């Protein structure tokens, strides 16, 4: 089951429960009357999905992240191509549940968003890329109204999940056109990655984002950065580039509870980007198409 089909199932469950709730604003109790069991319903869907795909937690967080960074958290990433719609493909409750299920924190998800009536494929340039500098990452987060703590905390979602060789192989052999590896990669880790991702090898081969606890949501991601064992360029720059993110990495590496608290708050902050409520947007009867 793909992340899109799971998110679609969740959207359908939610959509059927909120008709008539037009004027409400975001609230963790938004569905307490119209669908009091919404969390348990969604939990059942995602727990079943996780049995079939251990990576589904990381995938759904990524979907939620992509949706929010393009025109706000409005479900636009779900839309198929149609007249006037250039899909962003060519959900927030699920993210919270799966983080919690894998040992991470829980937080009160703010509910009640409306769906957009359009998508913005060109707007996907706002999504941070895997080979960007710290300055580029920080600017994209600032543009979304998020700060350095949000950047580091949300990057901590890479405590579980996988990445393809194609997203980091440039660090192993020819970093920035130098013909040499990225000097910030620890030597032993570099050799391990080169074995998995040989030069001109299969770019689709998957590697653990956190090689120490691959499927657990914990703060080992930040310890890895301190040891120059961050997988993606955008991971390691948080610690290896001078700036305020270094102290935040150290803080989270030293305190898992601090990371968990900040991650939950940053997920709420991200979930509040460009929200449509009330009469703005719509409640789609088919989550992949406008009404």
Which residues are annotated as part of the binding site for substrate? 128
**Binding-site residues from annotation for Ca(2+):** 67, 70, 72, 74, 76, 88, 159, 210, 213, 218
* Three-class secondary structure of residue 115 per DSSP: strand
DSSP code per residue over 195-262: HHS-TT--TT-EEESSSSSTT--SSHHHHHHHTT--SSHHHHHHHHSSSTHHHHHHHHHH-HHHHHHH
Burial degree of 49 (CB within 10 A; 0-12, 13-18, 19+): buried
Options 66, 170, 214, 251, the catalytic residue: 66
Distance CA 93, CA 46 (A): 10
**Binding-site residues from annotation:** 67, 70, 72, 74, 76, 88, 128, 158-159, 210, 213, 218
**Binding-site residues from annotation for heme b:** 158
What ranges make up the beta strands (E) of 123-219?
162-164, 206-208
* Three-class secondary structure of residue 138 per DSSP: helix
- 64 carries an active-site annotation: no
How many DSSP H helices and E strands does the chain contain?
A: 12, 2
Q: List, in order, residues 6 or more apart from 215 with CB less than 8 Å away.
A: 54, 102, 160
Closest by Cα among 116, 37, 31 to 70? 116
* Three-class secondary structure of residue 112 per DSSP: coil
Two tokens at 25? 């604003």
Catalytic residue positions, numbered: 66
């Amino acid at each position: 089951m793909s992340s899109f089909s799971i998110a679609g199932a969740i959207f359908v469950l939610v959509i059927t429960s909120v008709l008539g709730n037009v004027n409400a604003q975001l609230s963790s109790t938004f569905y307490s009357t119209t669908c009091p069991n919404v969390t348990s319903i969604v939990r059942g869907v995602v727990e079943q999905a996780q049995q079939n795909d251990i990576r589904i937690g990381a995938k759904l967080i990524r979907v939620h992240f992509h949706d929010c960074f393009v025109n706000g958290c409005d479900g636009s990433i779900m839309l198929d191509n149609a007249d006037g719609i250039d899909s962003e493909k060519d959900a927030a409750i699920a993210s919270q549940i799966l983080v919690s299920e894998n040992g991470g924190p829980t937080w009160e998800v703010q509910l009640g968003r409306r769906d957009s009536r359009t998508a913005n494929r060109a707007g996907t340039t706002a999504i941070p890329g895997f080979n960007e500098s710290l300055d580029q990452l920080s600017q994209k987060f600032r543009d979304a109204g998020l700060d350095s703590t949000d950047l580091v905390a949300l990057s901590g979602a890479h405590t579980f999940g996988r990445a393809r060789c194609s997203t980091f192989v440039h660090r192993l052999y020819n970093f920035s056109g130098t013909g040499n590896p990225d000097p910030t990669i620890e030597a032993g880790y570099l050799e391990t990655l080169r074995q998995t991702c040989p030069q001109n090898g299969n770019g689709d081969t998957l590697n653990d984002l956190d090689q120490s606890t691959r499927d657990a949501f914990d703060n080992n991601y930040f310890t890895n950065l301190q040891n120059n064992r961050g997988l993606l360029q955008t991971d390691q720059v948080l610690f290896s580039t001078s700036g305020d993110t270094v102290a935040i990495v150290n803080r989270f590496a030293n305190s898992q509870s601090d990371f968990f608290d900040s991650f939950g708050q940053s997920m709420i902050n991200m979930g509040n980007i460009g929200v449509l409520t009330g009469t703005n947007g719509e409640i789609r009867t088919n989550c992949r198409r406008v009404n």
